């Protein structure tokens, strides 16, 4: 018997179930198929414009910063301005995302952009996001070839580009979008929820930023018209 078998066997005994219990298996499968939605707070049941405003307010409440730009072509300038404001090197490691690659980086002659997974020497990363959750000001990021997870946690500064149309109200809507994208029973390897920069109060009960990840989280939000359908299916119809 493997260690896994021993652990699962102990769980079954505590639940008074036998291995291969068809009735118990059917009950679990039925519950997974039903996908009952959890409670949705009233503050998340709002229209598209209000969702974007709430997302910004909640993100900033958790020590993130946010810049709004009119169109995606303005993102490189916003990134360069942010780096200059914080006296950071004009260099970043960007996710190998086609949407990020398509931005006019050549308009920023002093900015060096490298693609791929984060390295220990990278001070700043730039990624996209799958969704923004207004309920708590949280970013939802899915791992994949165009979104290496190391970019979310290794560099000291994490910059995230997101469209207004990707902002949903509650977590339930965000999970609906993941299921719609990947299909029944399928998920990406990793789903990361990021609310503000990394923090801990383990040291003398004093908040310290950057303890387990980036000490800065900056969001560049593209005003692409909240409520419009975006390429990954987010929007008012979520």
> Token pair of 36, please?
């009952």
Task: Give the separation between CA 91 and CA 122, rounded to whole angstroms.
Answer: 8
pLDDT of residue 59: 97
Superfamily holding 43-222: NagB/RpiA/CoA transferase-like (3.40.50.10420)
So where are the chain's domains? 1-34, 43-222
Residue 140 has φ and ψ, to the nearest 5°, of: -110, 120
Q: Which of 49-58, 68-77, 198-207 has the lowest mean pLDDT?
A: 198-207
Q: What is the dihedral of CA 53, 193, 78, 158, to 10 degrees?
A: 150
Q: Is the pLDDT of residue 79 over 60?
A: yes
Is pLDDT above 50 for 53?
Answer: yes
Helix (H) or strand (E) holding 194: strand 191-194
Q: What is the pTM of this model?
A: 0.82
């Amino acid at each position: 018997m493997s260690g896994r078998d021993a652990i699962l066997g102990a769980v079954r005994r505590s639940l008074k179930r036998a291995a291969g219990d068809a009735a118990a298996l059917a009950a679990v499968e039925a519950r997974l198929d039903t996908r009952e939605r959890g409670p949705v707070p009233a503050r998340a049941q709002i229209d598209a414009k209000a969702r974007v405003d709430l997302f910004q307010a909640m993100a900033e409440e958790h020590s993130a910063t946010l810049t709004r730009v009119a169109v995606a072509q303005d993102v490189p300038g916003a990134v360069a301005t942010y780096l200059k404001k914080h006296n950071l090197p004009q260099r970043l490691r960007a996710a190998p995302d086609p949407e990020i690659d398509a931005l006019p980086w050549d308009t920023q002659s002093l900015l060096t952009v490298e693609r791929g997974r984060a390295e220990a020497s990278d001070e700043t990363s730039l990624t996209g996001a799958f969704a923004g959750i207004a309920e708590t000001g949280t970013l939802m990021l899915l791992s994949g070839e165009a979104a290496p997870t190391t970019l979310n946690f290794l560099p000291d500064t994490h910059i995230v580009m997101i469209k207004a149309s990707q902002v949903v109200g509650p977590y339930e809507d965000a999970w609906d979008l993941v299921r719609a994208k990947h299909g029944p029973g399928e998920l990406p390897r990793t789903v990361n929820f990021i609310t503000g920069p990394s923090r801990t109060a383990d040291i003398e009960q004093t908040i310290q930023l950057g303890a387990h990840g980036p000490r800065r989280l900056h969001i560049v939000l593209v005003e692409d018209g909240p409520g419009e359908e975006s390429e990954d299916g987010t929007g008012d119809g979520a």
